Structures are given as C-alpha cells and as structure tokens.
Amino acid sequence: MLFSKKENTLVAVANGRSLPLSEVPDEAFATGLLGIGFAVEPADGTVYSPVTGRIESIADSLHAYTLLSDDGLDVLVHIGIDTVELKGEGFLSMVAVGDRVKVGDVIARVDLNRLRGGNYPSFIPVLITNPEGVSMEKLRTGSTVGGETPVFQYRIKRS
C-alpha cells in the first residue's frame, strides 16, 4: 500500500524489508502486547530514527531506544530479539538521552554478523508504546530505505 511521507508517519529504521509485527519471532512483539507498529529485517547495521523528537531512554545494553515524538508518541526501537543478553556487545549508540533527532538521523549501529552468529534474530521492531487514542491507518511492507521509506501511517484520535 503506497502513501506519501508526511506527518503521522513512522519511517523505516533500516535498509531492508518491512513486515507486520505478527511476523516477528517473539510473542510479546508479535501479539502487540508491547504496542502497535511494525518491524524491519535489516540488510545492514545502521539504525535510523523513525520520527522527529527527543531520545528519552537508551537501554544499558544499547539494544533499545525510546523516543518521544513531537506529536506525543512514545516510540520504542528495539534492535534484535533477546539481544539484551549481549550486554551491549556489537552495539554502538550514536545518540545520548536528551538529544533531539529528526526523521532519518542515525541513532545506532549494530554488528549484524554478531547477532546472527549468536542466533539472535536481527528484526528491529518499532512500536508506539502509548497506543491509546492512536490507530494504524496504513502499513507498507516490502523493501525499505532506512530513514526514508514511509512504513506506518497512523491517526491520533482527538477526544
């Protein structure tokens, strides 16, 4: 499904292939327990911001980033599955807590060979973790350009 890049859109966080969360091999992500969104199966190790906003938190293991978008969404970018077990090995943060980022800014780099060699799936789930009042409008699956390809269009329901 094609749509134009505009407000209320999350873009791909990596070069690769976007897919629905239901295809991620982790029950918490696949069932939507942690929020609504999408995932990217990365082709390389550069991870981009899907939104314009502020870095709210970075996991000590550098595998997960929480961003507060300018329109008030809490967005989680989770690099790999069960990668917290790596304790930061193979991850490099390119941002700090409190930094302002724009759509497409590089937020992290990851050694995909390290993940895959350790049998860690390299999918990158991207979740809106405060989905109350937010609905998915469109989801684009398939080939992506990190930091550019619109993947997830949403609508904020005003009360």
How many of the other CB atoms lie within 10 Å of CB of 85? 11
Among residues 80, 76, 92, 89, which one has the least CA distance to residue 42? 80
Q: Are 151 and 2 in contact (CB under 8 A)?
A: no
Known catalytic residues are: 78
Among residues 57, 49, 154, 60, which one has the least CA distance to residue 97? 57
Q: Are 14 and 44 in contact (CB under 8 A)?
A: yes
- Report d(CA 12, CA 146) in Å as an integer: 5
